[in-house]
Amino acid sequence: MTHVVETPSTAAPSRTGTSVKLVGVIKDYAGQRALTGLDLEIEPGEFIALLGPSGCGKTTALRALSGLEQIDGGSILIDDVDVARTPVNKRDMGMVFQSYSLFPHMTALQNVEFGLRMRKVDSASRRSRAVEALEMVGLSALAERFAHQLSGGQQQRVALARALVTRPRVLLLDEPLSALDAKVRVALRDEIRRIQKDLGITTLFVTHDQEEALAVADRVAVMNSGNIEQVGTPEELYLNPATAFVADFVGLSNKLEGTVVGGVVTVYGQPLNVLGEVPLSGAVTAFVRPEDVMLADAGLPGTVVSTSFLGSLRRTFVRLTDGTIITVQHDVAERCELGESVSLRFKGRPVAVAPKQ
Ligand code: ADP
Ligand code: MG
């Protein structure tokens, strides 16, 4: 058996700057098209969140990129090299999945060492690199524990260390946090982000949780029915959604009936500019953010049906006289009581519109 001696530093990026390009990728499952010509470019060192509802094709896209799934059309380029014929173990990618995939009969350390053993790295380097990778994810103290002696969050840290210890060019994470409770989820996502930045590793992070996507990613790719609707920074997606799907999926919106004439939509008698290009006229659904509605002295009359204190803000649901419920986000100092009569106004920020839903 030959042993490859490698430098012990896991903390140093393997190589800087790997680019990933998916170009017109098509994937069919028994006649059903799961990816319909998907295009996505990830810059070297960039952290992209692939966000979309369950069943839209996120896992398929990730598996296609990793080589776990053969594609039926299009191409995948890593550092501008087409990897169509490159098998999964030669694509040099680290993967973390939703379900804990640790080997139950191995300790945390042995789990992390496993990939290096497969690569025939000598035992001394293996050990020091695995120790270092566990340190990176804050688990040095638990190196000798078995999976059943670790919490879900700790197991995912081991899985992350295991993915990183081989110094992959690209890190792929498929809903790695969705089995964890809320607090652990937030702590671990921030930690993944920190490590990703430290290593400068090109990363694709799949999630159906829009808050998670907006919180961690450089850019978010919003996916719907086998394709990407929009790629943008969290701010771009939130403030300037390109499609109704994005407006609806990213952040909260009130979906209200409106009428478009010449780029202006009138909602409950109040004219609002329409975001982006406006191919529509006539009856539409307008997406009005809760923070773009305010409690006012005069305006649309309604009744408070619920109000909740969310720490830095208050969210209140108001039923209008036509039965429509509008969500308003407002200052905690503006108190309102259940059943109270209030008036609403739109602040006048531009809104996204879609054909009437
Ligand atoms: P997501 O990860 O966004 O929830 P998936 O990529 O898992 O979505 O699935 C996309 C679509 O492809 C779904 O309609 C799913 O049912 C289908 N699909 C996924 N894997 C297979 C498979 N191995 N065989 C057949 N259909 C599949
Ligand atoms: Mg999935």
Rounded CA gap, 334 and 304, in Å?
Answer: 13
Number of alpha carbons in the 13 Å side-chain half-sphere of residue 131: 7
The alpha carbon dihedral of 197, 202, 206, 209 has a sign of positive
CA–CA distance, 336 with 8 (Å, rounded to integer): 61
307 pLDDT exceeds 70?
yes
Residue 63 reports pLDDT greater than 50: yes
Q: By percentage, how much of the chain surpasses pLDDT 90?
A: 81
Give residue-wise pLDDT tens across range 161-194.
999 999 999 999 999 999 899 999 999 999 999 9
User: What is the residue-averaged pLDDT of the chain?
Assistant: 92
**Whether the CB of 227 sits within 6 Å of ligand 1:** no
Q: Is 258 in the pocket of ligand 1 (CB under 6 A)?
A: no
User: Is 58 close to ligand 1, i.e. is its CB under 6 Å away?
Assistant: yes
Structural contact between residues 4 and 120, judged by C-beta atoms closer than 8 angstroms: yes
Q: How many CA atoms does the CB half-sphere of 295 hold within 13 Å?
A: 23
Atom of ligand 1 nearest to the CA of 62: 6
Tell me the CA–centroid distance for residue 215 and ligand 2, in Å: 20
On the question of pLDDT at 229 being above 90, the answer is yes
**322: number of Cβ within 10 Å:** 9
What pLDDT was estimated at residue 57? 98
C-beta 111 within 6 A of ligand 1: no
Q: Is 327 a residue whose pLDDT tops 60? A: yes
> Does the C-beta of 54 come closer than 6 Å to ligand 1?
yes
Distance 33 CA to ligand 1 centre (A): 9
Of 244 and 313, which is predicted with more confidence? 313
For residue 61, the surrounding DSSP H or E stretch is helix 58-66
Task: Decide whether any atom of ligand 1 lies within 6 Å of the 34 Cβ.
Answer: yes
Over residues 273-286, mean pLDDT:
83
The answer to whether residue 339 scores a pLDDT higher than 70 is: yes
pLDDT reported for residue 16? 65
Token digits of residue 8? 């012990």
**pLDDT tens, 89-111?**
899 999 999 876 899 999 999 99
29 lines ligand 1 (CB under 6 A): yes
Is the per-residue pLDDT at 6 higher than 50?
no
Mean predicted confidence (pLDDT) in 276-290: 85
Is the predicted pLDDT of residue 3 greater than 60, yes or no?
Answer: no
Across 221-248, average pLDDT: 92
Q: Mean pLDDT over residues 117-144, rounded? A: 94
- State the pLDDT at residue 94: 94
pLDDT of residue 239: 84
Q: Ligand 1, residue 208: give the atom nearest the CA.
A: 3
pLDDT digits (tens, 9 = 90+) for 133-165: 999 999 999 999 999 999 999 999 999 999 999
Residue 175 Cα: closest atom of ligand 1: 2
219, pLDDT greater than 60 = yes
Distance between Cα 207 and ligand 2 center (Å): 8
Task: Determine which residue's CA is closest to atom 10 belonging to ligand 1.
Answer: 57
Whether 35 is in the pocket of ligand 1, judged by its Cβ within 6 Å, is no
Residue 266 has pLDDT above 50, yes or no: yes
pLDDT confidence bin for 15, thresholds 50/70/90? very low
